[in-house]
């Protein structure tokens, strides 16, 4: 029997088919990576592929340990596997001593390379005026050999050529090339020369930030040098130069200009797909990584989809930043377990005599060893990145061993910081909220406390660059009380040059020797629905 369909039946089935198609398409889209691939502060990224594994280094400035190295098997899901630098040196600026600091400086843009079975990360520091080269046979073991020498080669790219020679390309605007000694212990005298007189030229005549952030690649026998510029009144822009010889001559063109997504390089997959890895300034959360699809035309990299940053990518979807980039911590340690997971970094070098995760089992104990008048000059603030679009951090602080004048708690750390914590005044505990929005720390609210412990919470909202942080406390961990005011977070370029961080702190203003015990640190990608 042949069944006949009416026009109504056809329309009905067509409608069902349409909705099924939309469901399938939506499902497919959710299984794809989306930009930004990492919604957290990971600037100046350098990426390599070794077999089927990808590795990435980034900038963390004044944080210690420094030069984080991350691993991925799909370019979208990353975890921190090591730090190339334990410390840049033992000097007052790095140790927060004698009123000195290295905020906004420390270690800058790194270059990650793999050569003859060994991994290399190079970086430089204005603080010490040195260039550093770290190397290891096992990038995931967190053990690196170090070579350092002067001067600090600004935004250099480390490049191993096929003929066995090794180079730095460095500088801003005028780019130079210099050859390294075979053991990488320094540069060869007399080899430093101008490579490109005006590398900014392809992006126009009216340049604010001259070409810097060099990253060199060799593809199909040609040399490709990637840089970033920033035309006045415009946006961050990718500039690409190419040559048949590493020494030039080079021809250049504007490589990409959209949404200010720039600075980085290129990477290929085992399947032969190409991507540009770049970052974007995104307000107070920091500079966040993007992947942009890429193809080759006439020997030039063509970045983007019709010159635009794609929203989705032909890569696996992100499973989130937890626990690979940020993670909660109950401070419970098994035998032979690292004292601190790799997601943690100290603000400047830590004084290792004044913190412990074993002195009181299951707690992070921060002890005071001196008095300080300014929070930003106090040592041993332990930090993790904030992340977008929203994020929160909660801790439980036991304050019964704090001394008169001590201040401890949880903060949103940048130049214009916010704190929620406990202070001991007149022998009594108070929960307080302090804002440094005006660059002069101001206690906004202080409330007497009872008992020996209090829950503290900071919530950050980066949606549509709202850049708001709210602060809360609780005596039972269930009912939260807003305290102080909303901090309008601000990314300060010169002073700190880093996205906001959650931080656990304890410092003394009158008497050294007290301690604060943190029961846990828990992060979330959710915040309260109540606007403050």
| Residue numbers of the domain that contains 446 | 345-524
Do the domain assignments include residue 352? yes
Q: How many CA atoms lie within 13 Å of 130's alpha carbon, on the beta-carbon side?
A: 15
End-to-end CA distance of the chain: 68
pLDDT value, residue 426: 97
Do the domain assignments include residue 225? no
Buried/exposed 319-332: b ≥16 CB within 10 Å, e otherwise:
eebeebbbbbbebe
Do the domain assignments include residue 128? no
* 3-class DSSP string for 288-335: EEEEEEEEEECCEEEECECCECCCEEEEECCCCCCCCCCCCECCCCCC
Which residues on adjacent β-strands are paired with residue 396? Answer: 455
What are 86-100's pLDDT values in tens digits?
999 999 999 999 999
What are 147-183's pLDDT values in tens digits?
999 999 999 999 999 999 999 999 999 999 999 999 9
Phi, psi values for residue 263, rounded to 5°: 65, 115
Do the domain assignments include residue 271? no
Do the domain assignments include residue 490? yes
Measured CA to CA, the distance from residue 441 to residue 505 in angstroms comes to: 16
Do the domain assignments include residue 252? no
Cβ pair 456, 404 in contact under 8 A: no
pLDDT value, residue 494: 82
Tally of domains within the chain: 1
Do the domain assignments include residue 454? yes
pLDDT value, residue 10: 41
Would the CA dihedral through 226, 231, 236, 237 be positive or negative? Answer: negative
Residue 505: which CATH number?
2.60.120.200
Q: How many CA atoms lie within 13 Å of 317's alpha carbon, on the beta-carbon side?
A: 8
CA nearest 453: which of 516, 407, 375?
Answer: 516
Do the domain assignments include residue 405? yes
Q: In the chain, which residues have pLDDT < 70? A: 1-30, 530-532
pLDDT value, residue 357: 98
pLDDT value, residue 1: 39
């Amino acid at each position: 029997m042949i069944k006949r369909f009416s026009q109504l039946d056809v329309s009905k089935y067509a409608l069902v088919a349409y909705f099924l198609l939309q469901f399938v398409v939506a499902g497919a889209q959710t299984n794809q990576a989306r930009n930004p691939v990492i919604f957290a502060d990971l600037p100046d990224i350098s990426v390599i592929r070794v077999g089927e594994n990808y590795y990435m280094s980034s900038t963390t400035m004044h944080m210690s340990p420094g030069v984080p190295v991350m691993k991925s098997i799909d370019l979208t899901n990353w975890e921190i596997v090591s730090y190339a630098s334990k410390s840049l040196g033992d000097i007052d600026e790095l140790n927060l001593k004698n009123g000195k600091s290295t905020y906004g400086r420390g270690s800058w843009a790194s270059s990650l390379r793999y050569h003859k079975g060994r991994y290399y990360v190079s970086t430089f520091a204005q603080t010490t005026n040195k260039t550093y080269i770290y190397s290891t046979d096992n990038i995931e073991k967190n053990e690196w050999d170090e070579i350092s020498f002067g001067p600090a080669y600004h935004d250099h790219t480390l490049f191993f050529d096929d003929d066995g020679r090794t180079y730095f390309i460095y500088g801003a605007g005028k780019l130079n090339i210099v050859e390294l000694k075979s053991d990488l212990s320094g540069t060869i005298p007399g080899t430093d020369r101008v490579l490109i007189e005006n590398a900014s030229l392809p992006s126009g005549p009216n340049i604010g930030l001259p070409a810097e952030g060099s990253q060199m690649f060799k593809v199909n026998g040609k040399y490709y040098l990637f840089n970033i510029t920033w035309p006045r009144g415009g946006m961050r822009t990718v500039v690409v130069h190419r040559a048949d010889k590493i020494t030039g001559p080079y021809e250049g063109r504007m490589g990409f200009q959209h949404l200010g997504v720039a600075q980085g390089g290129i990477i290929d997959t085992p399947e032969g797909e190409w991507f540009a890895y770049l970052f974007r300034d995104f307000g107070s959360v920091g500079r966040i990584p993007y992947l942009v699809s890429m193809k080759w035309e006439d020997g030039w990299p063509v970045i983007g989809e019709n010159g635009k940053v794609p929203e989705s990518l032909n890569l696996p979807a992100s499973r989130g930043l937890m626990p690979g980039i940020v993670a909660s911590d109950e401070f419970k340690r098994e035998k032979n377990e690292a004292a601190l997971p790799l997601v943690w970094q100290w603000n400047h070098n830590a004084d290792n005599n004044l913190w412990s995760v074993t002195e009181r089992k299951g707690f992070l104990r921060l002890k005071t060893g001196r008095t300080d008048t300014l929070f930003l000059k106090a040592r041993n603030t332990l930090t993790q990145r904030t992340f977008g679009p929203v994020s929160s951090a909660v801790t439980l602080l036991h304050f019964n061993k704090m001394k008169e004048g001590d201040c401890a708690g949880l903060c949103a750390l940048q130049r214009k910081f916010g704190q929620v914590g406990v202070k001991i005044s007149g022998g009594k505990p108070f929960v307080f909220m302090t804002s440094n929005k005006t660059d002069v720390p101001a206690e906004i609210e202080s409330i007497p406390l009872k008992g020996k412990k209090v829950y503290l919470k900071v919530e950050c909202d980066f949606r549509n660059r709202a850049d708001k942080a709210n602060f809360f406390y609780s005596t039972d961990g269930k009912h939260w009380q807003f305290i102080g005011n909303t901090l309008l977070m601000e990314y300060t370029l010169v002073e700190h040059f880093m996205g906001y961080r959650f931080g656990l702190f304890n410092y003394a203003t009158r008497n050294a020797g007290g301690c604060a015990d943190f029961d846990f640190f828990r992060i979330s990608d959710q915040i309260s629905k109540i606007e403050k």
